[in-house]
A = this chain, B = another copy of it.
Amino acid sequence: MAQRKLRGGMVGGGTGAFIGPVHRMAATLDAEAEFVAGAFSRDPVKSKKSGEELGLDSSRVYASYQEMAEKEAKLPADKRIDFVSIVVPNNGHFAVAKNFLESGFNVICDKPMTTTLADAKTLQKLAAKSGKVFVLTHNYTGYPMVKQARHMVKSGMLGKINKVVCEYPQGWMSGLITNPGSSLSMWRMDPKISGGSGCMGDLGTHGENLIRYITGLEIDEVCADLTTFVKGNGLEDDGNLLLHFKGGARGILYASQISAGEENPLSIRVYGTKMGLEWKQEDPNYLIVKDPAGTQTRWSKGNTNLCKEALAAGRLIWGHPDGYIEAFANIYREAYRAIRAELAGKKIPVCDYPTTEDGVIGVAFINALLASSKSKSKWTKMKV
């Protein structure tokens, strides 16, 4: 029998935002859910307008997230939202997520989870205690071939992992370096909004999460070199890290917003004793396996030679490219599996989405690299 559509609410993501529409497309791609409520902006007028444009019932468009949590909680079970998607800037994640968890809602939250480690741990505990679902949208782990990479590492195909190189350069700020007149009203670069890190919080944490998702390796210590090239940026716009993983593997992770002409080429290379592999976000439907015997083999999405997680995560067969939205939708699809269980009063199954644990580790990672940077690149332990 058909499952009913889940009812979602959104905090943030009003007109003009980048990530709000992404969440909406991803959340509804499979027709498993629809958004019925929202507090789309701190400005009640803007929130109303966004809700209207989205065709929501005006009674479900709220002036603030607090009002939304309070009023939705009072609605009957067959009317109120089943989950909330939080897409406000970083410094708002904690308060909004806390409020909704405490009001009894499942939460899907943009990354990074919080701006301080204490907040992250508070949320982690709160989520655990509440019995609600908490999903962190490190969306890049939603790509089918990322799942295949993880499978290959787990299966031992690569041997013991010794080296990881993860890159995430962007170039959109490069022109601002020599153009100081530009108005930099970018929240990403405002420490009050974004937290203590700029490109590392925005991009580097995706890299950290991707490394951990694929390899299972835990960072032991980091050595960080952060630089602010754009005058007026309150945070670093380029960061280069050396990594020591527990067990002896070594790594490089870098992120940048001043790498002129780069778009969004997040990539990862993993080298084991037997094989290497490489995945590139801008060419996401392929995974390259490198064999010292002299071949490089491209595996591709949608084929039956993939592991079941990778095959299931492909929405279309071979040769029909899945994109960023489909990968993002895979996070939501797994979230829905968990949410439906929660709503049914069942034990939440083990699902394939980033959790509060990922959130805590992500914030600890930022803390470690900031501490290393302040101590002139001293090796600094990850403290979770």
Indicate whether A219 reaches chain B with its CB closer than 8 angstroms: no
Are A294's CB and B306's CB within 8 A? yes
Indicate whether A292 reaches chain B with its CB closer than 8 angstroms: yes
Are A223's CB and B238's CB within 8 A? no
- Segment 304-350 of A: residues with Cβ below 8 Å from B: 304-306, 315-326
Q: What B residues does A294 contact at CB under 8 A?
A: 299-300, 303-306, 318
Q: What B residues does A52 contact at CB under 8 A?
A: 1-2
The answer for the CA separation of A175 and B293 in the assembled complex, in Å, is 10
Q: What B residues does A170 contact at CB under 8 A?
A: 319
A146-172 near B? 1/0 per residue, CB < 8 Å:
000000000000111011010101111
The answer for the CA separation of A74 and B31 in the assembled complex, in Å, is 27
Indicate whether A215 reaches chain B with its CB closer than 8 angstroms: no
Are B316's CB and A324's CB within 8 A? yes
- Segment 121-162 of A: residues with Cβ below 8 Å from B: 158-160, 162
Highest count of chain B CB atoms <10 Å: which of A291, A292, A300, A324: A292
Return A104 CB to nearest CB of chain B, in Å.
25
Q: What B residues does A302 contact at CB under 8 A?
A: 263
Interface stretch, picked from A65-73, A188-196, A251-259, is A251-259
Are A379's CB and B379's CB within 8 A? no
Are B305's CB and A299's CB within 8 A? no
Return A116 CB to nearest CB of chain B, in Å.
27
The answer for the CA separation of A158 and B294 in the assembled complex, in Å, is 19
Q: What B residues does A318 contact at CB under 8 A?
A: 263-264, 294
The answer for the CA separation of A240 and B167 in the assembled complex, in Å, is 14
Give the A interface residue count (CB, 8 A).
100
- Segment 243-301 of A: residues with Cβ below 8 Å from B: 244, 248, 250-252, 254, 256, 258-265, 269, 271-276, 281-285, 289-300
Are B18's CB and A24's CB within 8 A? no
Return A248 CB to nearest CB of chain B, in Å.
8
Are B25's CB and A29's CB within 8 A? yes
Are B28's CB and A24's CB within 8 A? no
Partner of A55, one of B5, B172, B264, B272: B5
Are B258's CB and A163's CB within 8 A? yes
Partner of A31, one of B22, B24, B304, B322: B24
Are A261's CB and B273's CB within 8 A? no
Q: What B residues does A103 contact at CB under 8 A?
A: none
Q: What B residues does A315 contact at CB under 8 A?
A: 25, 325
Are B298's CB and A303's CB within 8 A? no
Are B252's CB and A271's CB within 8 A? no
Return A294 CB to nearest CB of chain B, in Å.
3
Q: What B residues does A227 contact at CB under 8 A?
A: 248, 250
Known contacts A4-B55, A55-B3, A250-B227; A256/B163 CB under 8 A: yes
Are A260's CB and B276's CB within 8 A? yes
Known contacts A294-B305, A298-B295; A319/B263 CB under 8 A: yes
What is A's interface to B at a CB cutoff of 8 Å?
1-5, 18, 22, 24-25, 28-31, 34, 52-56, 158-160, 162-163, 165, 167, 169-172, 174-175, 177-178, 223, 225, 227, 229, 238, 240, 242, 244, 248, 250-252, 254, 256, 258-265, 269, 271-276, 281-285, 289-300, 302-306, 315-326, 376-377, 379
7 A-B residue pairs with Cβ-Cβ distance under 8 Å, sorted by A, are: A31-B54, A31-B55, A223-B225, A260-B274, A260-B292, A284-B321, A320-B323
